[in-house]
Chains A and B, each alone.
Chain A
Amino acid sequence: GDSVTQMEGPVTLSEEAFLTINCTYTATGYPSLFWYVQYPGEGLQLLLKATKADDKGSNKGFEATYRKETTSFHLEKGSVQVSDSAVYFCALTGAAGNKLTFGGGTRVLVKP
């Protein structure tokens, strides 16, 4: 079945540091890939998405590129802020409706 593996946290960074969160997936066919973020005390929200190979999703300074050859969708941000402290989830959908398969989540803590 489909699966998503992402690096375990927590990841602790200083403000303005570079952030990378690795995500790899296993899926049949051509899944769509997503990054969701859960800020403290809030619900999950979509951060960015990519629907086909070589697509780059971007939002709020975050970027991720759909790499079919390496089955990866790594999340990057060049300069993090304290407000980026959150839990980040990599996810995919296959052919089966809106069923999202999530990775385990990576907690990111940005210190001033």
Chain B
Amino acid sequence: KAGVTQTPRYLIKTRGQQVTLSCSPISGHRSVSWYQQTPGQGLQFLFEYFSETQRNKGNFPGRFSGRQFSNSRSEMNVSTLELGDSALYLCASSPSLTSGANTGELFFGEGSRLTVL
């Protein structure tokens, strides 16, 4: 079974630009979450999507947004990039039950490393 795939793996942007990151979950997983990992703040939750609906949102500004498609693939977008947005962005999928209940077990991709200059 293929794991969680994130693209691109590395990217460099300049301040003020915007970026879109993509995530393909494990087949059959309907929940997709995004996390930001930085040396200073550690791992922070961005948002979670289930069946194309945002189910949870972390404490990030509105410049951070996401969406999920009918095939469970997800994208996140960061607009008006700032230097502090440089981070490893991790996507995780989860085999939520058909009822939408959670297992809490996340399967992470290797991440997209964003550098903002």
Chain A: residues with CB nearer than 8 A to chain B? 32, 34, 36, 42-46, 49, 51, 89, 93, 96-105
Instruction: Give the number of residue pairs across the A-B interface with Cβ within 8 Å.
Output: 65
Contact at A99–B108, with CB atoms within 8 Å? no
**Neighbouring A residues of B31 by C-beta, 8 Å:** 97-98
* Most A CB within 10 A of own CB, among B103, B106, B107: B106
Once bound together, how far apart are the Cα atoms of A49 and B107, in whole Å? 13
10 A-B pairs (CB sep. < 8 Å):
A43-B4, A46-B107, A51-B104, A93-B104, A97-B50, A98-B33, A100-B33, A100-B104, A102-B44, A105-B43
Contact at B48–A97, with CB atoms within 8 Å? yes
**Neighbouring B residues of A49 by C-beta, 8 Å:** 104-105
**Neighbouring A residues of B33 by C-beta, 8 Å:** 98-100
Category for how many chain B residues contact A: 20 to 34
**Neighbouring A residues of B102 by C-beta, 8 Å:** 93, 97-98
Q: A49-B104, A97-B50, A99-B33 are in contact. Are A43 and B109 (CB under 8 A)?
A: yes
In the assembled complex, the CB of A105 is this many whole angstroms from the nearest CB of chain B, namely: 6
Contact at B111–A98, with CB atoms within 8 Å? no
Contact at B42–A102, with CB atoms within 8 Å? yes
Chain B: residues with CB nearer than 8 A to chain A? 3-4, 31, 33, 35, 42-45, 48, 50, 55-56, 58, 90, 92, 94, 96, 102-111
Q: A44-B90, A89-B43 are in contact. Are A100 and B106 (CB under 8 A)?
A: yes
Once bound together, how far apart are the Cα atoms of A6 and B61, in whole Å? 27
Q: A97-B48, A97-B55 are in contact. Are A42 and B42 (CB under 8 A)?
A: no
* Most A CB within 10 A of own CB, among B43, B55, B58, B109: B43
Q: A42-B110, A97-B56 are in contact. Are A34 and B45 (CB under 8 A)?
A: no
Contact at B45–A101, with CB atoms within 8 Å? yes
In the assembled complex, the CB of A31 is this many whole angstroms from the nearest CB of chain B, namely: 9
Contact at A98–B110, with CB atoms within 8 Å? no
Contact of A99 among B48, B103, B109 (CB under 8 A): B48
**Neighbouring B residues of A89 by C-beta, 8 Å:** 43
Contact at A96–B56, with CB atoms within 8 Å? yes
